[in-house]
Structure 1
Amino acid sequence: MRMLFTEAVVLCAAFFMLCFLGTGTDAKNLQNYSSYPDAAQSRIRAIPEYEHQFKEQNPFLTFTANFLLFLAILFVFGIFIRQSNFVQNFLSLLILGQTLNAFDLIVIDLLWWRHTPRIRFSKLPQPALYQDPRKHIYAFIRAFIMYCAIALIDGYLLTLF
C-alpha cells in the first residue's frame, strides 16, 4: 500500500509539472486549445495573430492516444506493485488511475487552471473567459472510463507475468 501511495504522488507531481511547464506563453497555451471553454475558443479563433497556431483536435484520436499512453505508463508503474492475483492488480491500477484522474480534475483543472494567469492569452486577459469547468468535467468522465479499461487490461497483463 505504501508503494501505491508513493506511485500516486509521483504520478500526480509529474503530471502537474507537465501542465505547469506546458503553459505560460501564448504559443504553449495554443497547444492546449481544446482544453479551453467554448467562449474562450471562439475569441481565440477571432484573433488574427493566433490563426494557424492551434489545431482542432479529433476527440477520438485524442482519447486513443491518451489511452495508449496511460496503458503503457500504468503498466510500468504496475510492475512495482504487482501481485499474483488479478483482482489485486486491477484494484491497485484502478486506484492509481482514478487518483490521477481526481487530482487532474480537482487540483489541476478546478483549483489551479481556472485561476492561474499562466493559461491566459495576452490578447484575452479576462479571467471570466477561463472559468467554465464543463470541458474539464467531461474530460474527467471520459478518463474515468479510460482508467477502468486500462486497469482491466493492465491488471490482466500483470497477472500473466
Structure 2
Amino acid sequence: MIAAVFYFLYWGVCFLGTGTDRKNLIGLRSYPDEVQTRVQSDPQLGQAVPKAKSTAAILLSNLLLFTVVFSVLGLALKSVLGLNNYLSAFWYFLAFGEGLGLFDLLVTDLLWWRSTKRIRFSFLPEKKYYQDPKKHIESFWRGIPLFAAAAALAALIVTVL
C-alpha cells in the first residue's frame, strides 16, 4: 500500500514537471535523439537547453536522492514495516526501488509519457517523434543497480539508527 501511494506520487511529480516547453526542457535527456536534436537547433528553445550532465553525475545524484528517501521512509515507518534488521530492511527497499523502476518504465514511460501531449514541444506536436522507448528502457536498466545500492545504504542507515 505504501509503495503504491509512493509510486503514484512519483508519477504526479512527473506529471507536474511537464506541460510547457520550458518544463519539458528539464527532462530533455529522456527524449528520443531526434527530438533532442530538433530542440537544440530550435532558435528559441535551443538557447534554453540545460547544460548536459554526465551519466555518473546523474547516477550519483539519484543514489543520494533515493538513499535519503528510503532512509526517511524506513526511519519513519520502521516498526510498521518490520524493518528490525539489515536483511529485512534491504529486501524491503530493494523491492520498493525495483518496483518503482518497473512502475516508471511501464506506467509512466511506456503508457503515459508516449501518449500524452504534455511532453510534446509546441514546435513539434506530432506523436510519432516521441514513440521510441530506447531512452526509457536504458534508464530502467541503469536503475536496477542504482536501486540495489540505495537499498543497501538505506538498510544500513535504518539498522544503525
| TM-score normalised over the length of structure 2 | 0.92
Distance 1:83 1:8 in 2: 15
How far, CA to CA, are the matches of 1:61 and 1:82 in structure 2?
33
1:58: how far off?
A: 2.1
Which residue is 1:61 aligned to? 57
Q: Which amino acid letter does the alignment assign opposite residue 104 of structure 1? A: D
Give 1:76's match in structure 2, choosing from 72, 75, 78: 72
State the 1:83 CA deviation: 2.2
Contact kept? 2:40, 2:49, Cα under 8 Å:
no
**Residues 60 and 46 of structure 1, relative CA distance in 2, 3 Å threshold:** same
2:23 counterpart of 1:28: yes
Count of residues in Structure 1 that have an aligned counterpart in Structure 2: 156
Letter in 1 for 2:148: C
How far apart are the structure 2 equivalents of 1:84 and 1:45?
50
Residues 41-120 of structure 1: pairs in structure 2 closer than 5 A? 41-55=36-50, 56-79=52-75, 80=77, 81-120=81-120
Q: Which runs of 5+ in 2 are unaligned?
A: none
Question: What secondary structure does 1:52 align onto?
Answer: helix
Matches of 2:40 and 2:83, distance apart in 1: 50
Q: CA RMSD in A?
A: 1.2
Taking the TM superposition and a 5 Å limit, the aligned residue runs for 1:140-155 are 140-155=140-155
Letter matched to residue 133 of structure 2: P
Work out the percentage of aligned pairs sharing the same amino acid. 39
Q: Distance in 1 between matches of 2:127 and 2:53?
A: 24
| TM-score, structure 1 normalization | 0.92
**Structure 1 stretches of 4+ moved >6 Å:** none
Q: Are the aligned partners of 1:7 and 1:77 in contact in 2 as well (CA < 8 Å)?
A: no
Deviations 1:44-64 (A, max 9, x none): 112111122112232211111
Aligned 8 A contact 1:93 1:155 in 2: yes
